[in-house]
Amino acid sequence: MNQPGPPGFAFVLFGGTGDLAMRKILPALYAAHRDGMLAPDGRIISVAMTTLDHSGYLGWVDEHVKPRISGTAIDDGVWRSFLERITYVALDAGQPEAFSVLRETLGAAHGRRIFYLATGPALFVPICSALGTAGLTEGARVVLEKPLGYDLESSTAINDAVGRIFNEEQIYRIDHYLGKEAVQNLFALRFGNSLFEPLWRREWVESIQITVAEELGVEGRGNFYDQTGALRDMVQNHLLQLMSIVAMEPPRSMDADAVRDEKLRVLRALKPVLGEQIRQSVVRGQYHAGAINGVSVPAYHAEPGVRPESRTETFVALKVEVENWRWAGVPFFLRTGKRLGARVAEIVVNFRTVPHSALGPMALRPGSNRLTIRLQPTESIRLSALAKQPGLGMTLQGVYLDLAFDQFFQQDRMEAYQRLLLDVIAGRLALFVRRDEQEAAWRWVAPIIDDWATQDTPPRSYSSGTWGPAAASALLARHNTCWLEEEN
């Protein structure tokens, strides 16, 4: 029996000339096209205010998208066939009457309509309202990029307004970290193997670290970032989502709501951080001038679009606790920042040491048994343990088992955006954030946001190219541990 082909679609990309479209979305759609994963009649309609004709926009795509495509060399014939899918519509998203042009362009397009809002959150409600007025929402799907609001109140207002136009099952709140191959392997590691499940609990886990570090600064996004900061930009979504996957109970299936129900239980079990606990458990920092890979970089205050007196944080480290039977008493240390020592995203599970060692102090050293899940720049899983060194005596040395995906699996890895866009087209919601998850995360970070807004203390300064303020190291030292890069 012949298998059905990929579903037809009309993919409408708002913000079609923007940075996100050029860096991530169109390269991901090209990769899916190149790999034969898109329906032959699938169309891409790019929408933006920029005054371009069709050929002018294709020239823009050729100039800005081609250099961002990774993997194999670009085949000119495949590239031309990809461009044939694209139509450009110049449209002011703030003018509802202009959406008649989009309706005419879509016409009787076959397959599911997908509206991807790669715009600022201020345009989410106007665009969705105009789509509803134009009669384009029935059976459609809408993808909302982060940040979805500025705080719980603004997020709720956006969700309420969008929810009056689209059903929850039509709304795809994207967090691209959930599409990374190593995050998918975290599900496989935990729920496809009996090896780790008995150890994945407070009796055997000493602490867990989750780090998302960047070498880059604000990269021309100073106006946006200075109103956002690391807590809103990274912790409220990426880090808390990764933490919820690490800490969740096994779901009954991989159906969307079964997975998201378990993540929600973790988010609702987070111990509140209030009052003086914020000073003890949260470190905020801001980078000053330094060097990245030998190249001098400016301080945050000197970045274009940043207020000279800004107290916006570019670094956050937190100690988080989950108040349930599996994790009570186990500290989760979350860390993210810009202009740090390396570009890396990883999850580090430190298992407890043996209760008594007959083999010397090495067996009692924290971190002797560890699972490290690397998300970027390369994806891998490493299990560290102790073994005897060759020769006389019983001298222990750290060894590891390493699964490097790019070496073990011969096929090319699928980038996160490619996986997530294909899930939108196919109607798979498991890797997208449900409204109650998002609001639970906002509710947890709200006291920290409010506290910082009333405090006169500025963020702690750290040099670009380092790993953040010294207070972030002290945060872990109080729990007899350290960040992974500090061990060596």
Is 388 assigned to a binding site?
no
Q: Which two tokens stand for residue 64?
A: 């800005």
DSSP structural state of residue 150? S
**Cα-to-chain-centroid distance, residue 104:** 35
Report the SS3 class of residue 84. coil
Is 257 assigned to a binding site?
no
User: Are 321 and 207 a contacting pair, CB within 8 Å?
Assistant: no
pTM: 0.92
- What was the pLDDT predicted at 195? 85
Domains defined along the chain, listed by start:
9-145 (3.40.50.720), 178-411+434-486 (3.30.360.10)
Residue 245 CB partners (closer than 8 Å, separation 6+): 178, 183, 186, 187, 263
What residues act catalytically? 238
Residues 454, 262: Cα–Cα separation, whole Å: 34
Residues 307, 310: Cα–Cα separation, whole Å: 5
- The list of the chain residues with pLDDT below 50 reads 1
Is 180 assigned to a binding site?
yes
Is 146 assigned to a binding site?
yes
Going by C-alpha positions, the residue among 95, 325, 79 that lies closest to residue 202 is 325
- What was the pLDDT predicted at 93? 85
Going by C-alpha positions, the residue among 103, 4, 14 that lies closest to residue 50 is 14
Residue at token pair 């703030």: 94
Q: What is the pLDDT of residues 259-301, one digit of tens each?
A: 999 999 999 999 999 999 999 999 999 999 999 988 999 999 9
- What was the pLDDT predicted at 310? 94
Residues 283, 317: Cα–Cα separation, whole Å: 5
Q: Which two tokens stand for residue 63?
A: 């100039």
Amino acid at 170: Q
- Which phi and psi angles does 48 have, rounded to 5°? -160, 170
Is 176 assigned to a binding site?
yes
Q: Following DSSP, what letter does each residue of 417-444 receive, concatenated?
A: HHHHHHHHHHT--TTSB-HHHHHHHHHH
Residues 88, 58: Cα–Cα separation, whole Å: 8
Q: Following DSSP, what letter does each residue of 26-77 receive, concatenated?
A: HHHHHHHHHTT-S-TT-EEEEEESS---HHHHHHHHHHHTGGG--SSPPPHH
- What was the pLDDT predicted at 411? 64
Going by C-alpha positions, the residue among 401, 437, 66, 432 that lies closest to residue 270 is 437
Report the SS3 class of residue 169. helix
Cis status, amide bond into 377, omega within 30 of 0? yes
Output the CA–CA distances (angstroms, integers) from residue 165 to 91, 116, 141, 159, 436, in the order listed: 21, 15, 11, 10, 18
Residues 309, 91: Cα–Cα separation, whole Å: 37
Report the SS3 class of residue 330. coil
Where b means 16+ CB within 10 Å and e means fewer, 93-114 reads beebebbeebeebbeebebbbb
Q: What is the pLDDT of residues 44-70, one digit of tens each?
A: 999 999 888 989 999 999 999 988 887
Residue at token pair 């606990």: 277
